[in-house]
Amino acid sequence: MAFAASGLGVVAASKKGNAPSIYTYQTADTIADVNTSGYFNSISDTLAVGDLIYCVTSTGGTRVSTLTQVLSNSGGVVDVADGTTLAATDTD
């Protein structure tokens, strides 16, 4: 699938040159789709290297939460890290 602006939320917008901005993004896409280079190209003018994106994606209908960061943004091409998947363990 493709990036959908309706799934993007701003948690903390930073002034350029200061701390990174933090975003949330929810989609039915898998994290493998989301962390593919070019997925966020349509908002390349918004994202900066180092910005954090908390992604809620789907794998076979199961929600997966992953924290990723913008690795590069050059010439309108955005690449994010593979990300760190947050454990959803509940032992009680």
**Residue-number span of the structural domain to which 25 is assigned:** 5-85
Is 91 among the domain residues? no
Residue 25: closest CA among 7, 42, 38, 40: 7
Contact indicator for 38, 49 with CB cutoff of 8 Å: no
Q: Tell me how far apart the alpha carbons of residues 34 and 4 are, in angstroms, rounded to a whole number.
A: 11
- Percentage of the chain beyond pLDDT 90 is 76
Is 22 among the domain residues? yes
Tell me the whole-structure pTM to 2 decimals. Answer: 0.90
Question: Residue 36 carries which DSSP code?
Answer: S
pLDDT at residue 62, rounded to an integer = 84
Is 48 among the domain residues? yes
Is 42 among the domain residues? yes
Is 90 among the domain residues? no
Q: Tell me how far apart the alpha carbons of residues 28 and 6 are, in angstroms, rounded to a whole number.
A: 12
Distances (CA, A) of 47 to 10, 14, 57, 75: 11, 11, 19, 12
26-65 pLDDT, tens digit per residue, is 999 999 999 999 999 999 999 999 999 999 998 888 889 9
